[in-house]
Amino acid sequence: MALKNYIRERFFPHFWCAGCGHGIVMNGLIRAIEKLGLSKNDVVMVSGIGCSSRITGYLDFHTMHTLHGRALAFATGIKLSRQELKVIVPMGDGDALAIGGNHFIHAARRNIDITAIVMNNRIYGMTGGQYSPLSGYGTMASTAPYSNIDQSFDVVELAAAAGATFVARSTTYNVIEMAEMIQNAILHKGFSVVEIMSQCPTYFGRRNKLGDAVDMLKYMNRTTTTIGSQWIDEDQELIEIDSEAKEEQLKIERGIFIRKERPEYCAAYDEVIRRAKEGK
Amino acid sequence: MQGGLDKGNPKLRELVINRQWCKGCGVCVAFCPKHVLELDDKEKAVVARFEECICCRYCELRCPDLAIEMPLLPQYGPNDLSA
Amino acid sequence: MKGIVKFVQGNEACVEGALYAGLDFFAGYPITPSTEIAEHLAFRLPKAGGKFIQMEDEIASMCAIVGASLTGRKVMTATSGPGFSLMQEALGYAIMTEIPCVIVNVQRGGPSTGIPTHVSQGDVNQTRWGTHGDHSIIALTASNNQDVFAMTVEAFNISETYRTPVVLLFDEVVGHMRERLVLPQKGEIPIVERLRTSVKAGVDYHPYLPREDGRLPMSDFGGVHRYNVTGLYHDMWGFPSDDPGVVHGLIRHLVDKIENRTSQLARFKDFYTEDAEFLLISYGSAARSARHIVERRHRRGEKFGLLELMTLWPFPYDLVKQKAAGARYIVVVEMNTGQICQSVRLAVDRPERVFLANRIDGVLINPTDIQRMLHVIGGKGV
């Protein structure tokens, strides 16, 4: 099967837990790249540290497994050096937005043609379930045994405010939508961000009594909706499950939020070279 | 997606489950609209009702372990997910 | 040596050397006293078709050059102490993944923000052990513009040869001092180009399998060989491994490829050291004052010699031991609390002969300072 053309089969079965959403993201990512018909030699994948970042080892591209939070900085060097390469950066939520938050907003601000995929499972899985900047107020984590008081980022709003020119969100439940968004993000000329809500049944699910992978996928299905859909006031079942979150009874929206044109960084630098050579 | 077929899909050649890779999370079983799949006593996915499969491919696309393949009969062309 | 003569700062001499060596990618962040390097490269690099980027911090700068190097570029960043501290993480990554790059640290006084516009040589030991874990590092230095140029070229050549980061440890005085620089003509100083693999597409390529001579031919990202790069201990394909044999083999390789070449890597200048009774050992801007003293005392017929170190790491223990063998007094002149002095004591027989002549107040140690200290050391009072 074609999917196997894109993986390093000798490392399978992969090291993620049973039901881990990151495997579903990898599944969708491969299908997106396959659909685009990209040559494997033209794809560079750069990751940081964490469960999510192990994805690079499993995929048969030019792969770089870097430092916690720094993947976008390495990727910026690669892209600016060889702009003909497709540079994809899969990151975890802590990786992208805690330790890597500064690199994230600055890569967005430059609008450099890199695709950032935030695999958001709302927890630090590799280290055993500590709260991340996307865990959210009221969640439980090994470092929030009395319930988390940290507010979370909204990745979509953050990326948009920072200047990303393509911003989308999907979930591991909505697999076809997710693969299509990744395709669109890769095709987009500029900094593209796809947040993929993903499940960690081992830590986030267990500590927050969200059940197993199947339950968590169902939960994501219930609590998200396409852009512009209804409030969920009437969804009694959800209100019971997530009574802490009653204050914010909006379903989380999925879809493409931002898609616009702005000068891309590498193309702009080509202009700098032209001006420098003309002595202007 | 499934073209309105409610019983079986003549396009499908076989439904292959890689038992070495399957971790038995049950995602494929839970979301199969036709209850084609089950977990066996080793907690591995198995095809229980092949003839019911409508080839929606959600099991293949949602498998976190990349353990499910759905090769089509050759006359139905390349293995494309945009069914 | 003939060529274009310029009157420039040390930081500009470094820029000239880097461009001569083939630099085509620079990422950096403004910091005194190194900023002129970034400013000049922002102007010069695009003219040559190279790329310059000002990153969001020094962490990102260091990461960006490592990424760029992997695509086949010759890369550099420049900073000073506080920024160098931030770079330690990715410096370790470059060591582990054996990616060539050059890092310039124009030293100022520390710790912390310290004394930004004044000179110090306080980062010598940080350069050696700043990043965590066992490793080895190469650090070069210089005391004048011509040597800044030459050592910058050397840094690129050594970095490409051994696939390892090389640190150029300059200081504020060297970086900001203006003096004559003669630009060598093309070809006058040999340039080492990156060793690329001859393995054809479709044939198994081992990015981390050293050849018999210890060198690792590279394949650029975007080329025909797809492999993995990781800061984890890794096998010859670049995939993570915790096999004790693999781990041991890699750490030995990383350390040995540098430590076993200590004498080959030793760059230095010596002045009247053969029969010196007073041997001064110095480097960077401090060596200019030391040389002034040595020349003056030598002219008076006194047995004064100077060993000017230009390779600080790996520390040339054998060289120092040999040069110091006959000296009655060994005086290390530096602007810190004795960071190289410590290594000199380890290198020589009878370390009680080793004395430190230093300044740690942000002021360049001058010949008078050294003169006074020599009086004291020689038992002649102040």
Answer whether residue B83 shows pLDDT above 80. no
Cα nearest neighbour of B30 on chain A: A214
Of A102, A96, A107, A179, the C-alpha closest to A134 is: A96
Q: What is the pLDDT of residue A247?
A: 44
Give the 3-state secondary structure of residue B82: coil
Q: Which domain holds residue B64?
A: 16-72
Count of all residues that appear for chain B in the document: 83
Calpha distance A229→A224 (Å, rounded): 9
List chains adjacent to chain C, taking adjacency as at least 3 C-beta pairs closer than 8 Å: A
Range A10-13, long-range pairs (CB < 8 A, 24+ positions): A11/A57, A11/A58, A11/C239, A12/A58, A12/B20, A12/B21, A12/B65, A12/B66, A13/B20, A13/B21, A13/B22, A13/B23, A13/B65, A13/B67
Would you call A276 an interface residue with chain C, using a CB distance cutoff of 8 Å?
yes
Q: 3-state SS of chain C: helix, strand, coil percent to 5?
A: 40, 25, 40
- Residues C193 and C60 sit within 8 Å (Cβ to Cβ): no
Would you call C221 an interface residue with chain A, using a CB distance cutoff of 8 Å?
yes
Calpha distance A130→A141 (Å, rounded): 5
Instruction: Give chain B positions within 8 Å (CB) of A173.
Output: 62
Q: Do C3-184 and C269-377 come out as alike in CATH topology?
A: yes
Q: Is residue B68 part of a domain?
A: yes
Backbone conformation region of residue A192, classed left if phi is above 0, alpha if psi is from -120 to 50, else beta: beta
Q: What is the pLDDT of residue C87?
A: 98
Distance of CA B38 to the CA centre of its chain: 11
Q: What is the mean pLDDT of residues C329-339?
A: 98
Verify whether the Cβ–Cβ distance C222 to A56 is below 8 Å: no
Verify whether the Cβ–Cβ distance A276 to C60 is below 8 Å: no
pLDDT per position as a tens digit, C294-313: 999 999 999 999 999 999 99
pLDDT tier at A241, thresholds 50, 70, 90: low
Cα nearest neighbour of A42 on chain C: C222
Q: What is the pLDDT of residue B74?
A: 73
Q: How far is C207 from chain A (nearest CA, A)?
A: 12
Q: How far is A142 from chain B (nearest CA, A)?
A: 23
Calpha distance A249→A242 (Å, rounded): 10
Verify whether the Cβ–Cβ distance B62 to A14 is below 8 Å: no
Answer whether residue C141 shows pLDDT above 90. yes
Preceding peptide of C82 cis, ω within 30°:
no
Residues from B contacting A (CB-CB < 8 Å) are 1, 20-27, 30-31, 58, 61-67, 69, 71, 78-79, 81-82
Verify whether the Cβ–Cβ distance A213 to B26 is below 8 Å: yes
Cα nearest neighbour of B1 on chain A: A176
Q: What is the pLDDT of residue A239?
A: 55
Q: How far is A32 from chain C (nearest CA, A)?
A: 19
- Gap between the terminal Cα atoms of chain C: 43
Q: Which CATH architecture has domain C3-184?
A: 3-Layer(aba) Sandwich (3.40)
Structure tokens at C143: 């005391």
**A-B Cβ pairs (cutoff 8 Å, strict):** 83
Please report, for residues A86, A271, A274, C56, C63, the alpha-carbon distance to residue A266 in angstroms, rounded to integers and kept in the order given.
13, 9, 12, 17, 18
> Tokens 């984590």, residue?
A141
Would you call C51 an interface residue with chain A, using a CB distance cutoff of 8 Å?
yes
Helix spans in chain A (H):
21-36, 55-58, 71-81, 93-94, 101-110, 155-162, 175-187, 206-207, 213-223, 236-241, 265-278
pLDDT tier at B3, thresholds 50, 70, 90: very low
Calpha distance A141→A230 (Å, rounded): 30
- Residues A162 and A108 sit within 8 Å (Cβ to Cβ): yes
- What is the CATH classification number for the domain harbouring B65? 3.30.70.20
Q: 3-state SS of chain B: helix, strand, coil percent to 5?
A: 20, 15, 65
pLDDT per position as a tens digit, C54-102: 999 999 999 999 999 999 999 999 999 999 999 999 999 999 999 999 9
Verify whether the Cβ–Cβ distance B66 to A26 is below 8 Å: yes
List chains adjacent to chain A, taking adjacency as at least 3 C-beta pairs closer than 8 Å: B, C
Answer whether residue B2 shows pLDDT above 80. no
Answer whether residue B19 shows pLDDT above 50. yes
The domain total for chain B is 1
Give, in degrees to the nearest 5, the angle at Cα C148 between C142 and C153: 115
pLDDT higher at C292 or A280: C292
Calpha distance C251→C254 (Å, rounded): 5
Q: Considering Cα of C170, then C172, then C175, then C178, what sign does the dihedral take? A: negative
Q: What is the pLDDT of residue A72?
A: 98
Q: Do chains C and B touch (3 or more CB pairs under 8 A)?
A: no
Domains in chain A: ranges and CATH:
2-278 (3.40.50.970)
Instruction: Give chain A positions within 8 Å (CB) of C239.
Output: 11, 57
Of C72, C335, C363, C103, the C-alpha closest to C218 is: C72
Verify whether the Cβ–Cβ distance B63 to A14 is below 8 Å: no
Answer whether residue C267 shows pLDDT above 90. yes
Q: What is the pLDDT of residue B72?
A: 78
Answer whether residue A235 shows pLDDT above 80. no
Of C366, C367, C315, C368, the C-alpha closest to C344 is: C315
Would you call C70 an interface residue with chain A, using a CB distance cutoff of 8 Å?
yes
Answer whether residue B82 shows pLDDT above 50. no
Q: What is the mean pLDDT of residues C242-251?
A: 98
Q: What is the pLDDT of residue C378?
A: 87
Of B66, B71, B79, Cβ closest to residue A27: B66
Instruction: For the domain covering C269-377, report its CATH number.
Output: 3.40.50.920
Please report, for residues B15, B50, C145, C366, the alpha-carbon distance to residue B76 in angstroms, rounded to integers and kept in the order given.
15, 18, 72, 86
State the pairing for strand pair C25-28/C304-309. Answer: unpaired
Q: Is residue B29 part of a domain?
A: yes
Q: Is residue B47 part of a domain?
A: yes
Calpha distance C139→B38 (Å, rounded): 62
**A-C Cβ pairs (cutoff 8 Å, strict):** 129
Q: What is the pLDDT of residue C212?
A: 87
Calpha distance C116→A63 (Å, rounded): 39
Residue C144: which residues within 8 A CB-CB, separation 6 or more?
A: C10, C174, C179, C288
Q: How far is B46 from chain A (nearest CA, A)?
A: 16
pLDDT tier at A240, thresholds 50, 70, 90: low
Provide the mean pLDDT of chain C: 97
Calpha distance A89→A33 (Å, rounded): 13
Q: Is residue B6 part of a domain?
A: no
Cα nearest neighbour of B65 on chain A: A23
Q: What is the pLDDT of residue B4?
A: 36
- Gap between the terminal Cα atoms of chain B: 6
Domain limits, chain C: 3-184, 269-377
Calpha distance A274→A98 (Å, rounded): 38
pLDDT per position as a tens digit, A191-228: 999 999 999 999 999 999 999 999 999 999 999 999 97
Would you call A149 an interface residue with chain C, using a CB distance cutoff of 8 Å?
no
pLDDT tier at C137, thresholds 50, 70, 90: very high
Lowest mean pLDDT among A241-250, B44-53, C155-164, C242-251: A241-250
Interface predicted TM-score of the whole assembly (ipTM), two decimals: 0.97
Q: What is the pLDDT of residue C125?
A: 98
Q: What is the pLDDT of residue B1?
A: 32
Instruction: Give chain A positions within 8 Å (CB) of C66.
Output: 74, 77
Q: What is the pLDDT of residue B9?
A: 63
Helix spans in C193-311 (H):
244-259, 262-265, 284-299
